Amino acid sequence: MAYKYDEENIFAKILRGEIPNDTILENDHALAFRDINPQRPHHVLVIPKGKFVSFDHFAKEASPTEIVGYIQAIGDVCDLLNLSIDTGDGYRLIANSGEHGVQEVPHLHVHILGGSSCGRMIQS
Ligand code: DGP
């Protein structure tokens, strides 16, 4: 089986500059921007610049350099928004994947949610 990547997904368009976004941070391998429908005071999406559908796709097929760059961007967003548990009050990291994960946009993204308590992990 091969992962199928939809070139017309909304995050691909953001990466191509076709749709504006509220960028928080960018490095060679990742872009972080605010979610259009924030669920907490801070709600940031971090996406890899490569064409990966899901976290498992990324884990299997991304290069070590891409993986390091992506993970570093997540840590840098936590520092930038003072969410790190070293200096701040913490956050929740979510990667919805596929049908059962209820993933809407088929380009890997993690949600970083913080600024207030995220409550219990799963409500229903
Ligand atoms: P998910 O269910 O994990 O695939 O969540 C997709 C998220 O993407 C959802 O919280 C809303 C956000 N989103 C969808 N379209 C856009 C957009 O055009 N811009 C931004 N900033 N966020 C978007």
Q: For 84-110, what is each residue's pLDDT tens digit?
A: 999 999 999 999 999 999 999 999 999
Active-site positions read 109
Whole-number pLDDT of residue 123: 73
Residue whose CA is at the smallest distance from ligand 1 atom 23 = 36
Whole-number pLDDT of residue 31: 98
Whole-number pLDDT of residue 115: 97
Whole-number pLDDT of residue 124: 65
Q: Is ligand 1 within 6 A of the CB of residue 87? A: no
Name the CA radius of gyration of the chain, rounded.
Answer: 14
Residue whose CA is at the smallest distance from ligand 1 atom 17 = 36
Q: Is ligand 1 within 6 A of the CB of residue 97? A: no
If one residue of 37, 97, 112 were mutated to test the ligand 1 pocket, choosing by the most ligand atoms within 8 A of its CB, it would be 37
Please list the alpha-helical segments (H only) found in the chain. Answer: 10-15, 55-61, 64-80
Whole-number pLDDT of residue 122: 80
Measured CA distances, 38 to 2, 6, 28, 62, 111 (Å): 33, 24, 25, 28, 10
Does position 17 have pLDDT exceeding 70, yes or no? yes
Does position 53 have pLDDT exceeding 70, yes or no? yes
Q: Is ligand 1 within 6 A of the CB of residue 95? A: no
Mean per-residue pLDDT, 76-89: 96
Higher pLDDT pick, 3 / 124: 3
- Share the mean pLDDT of the chain: 97
Does position 4 have pLDDT exceeding 70, yes or no? yes
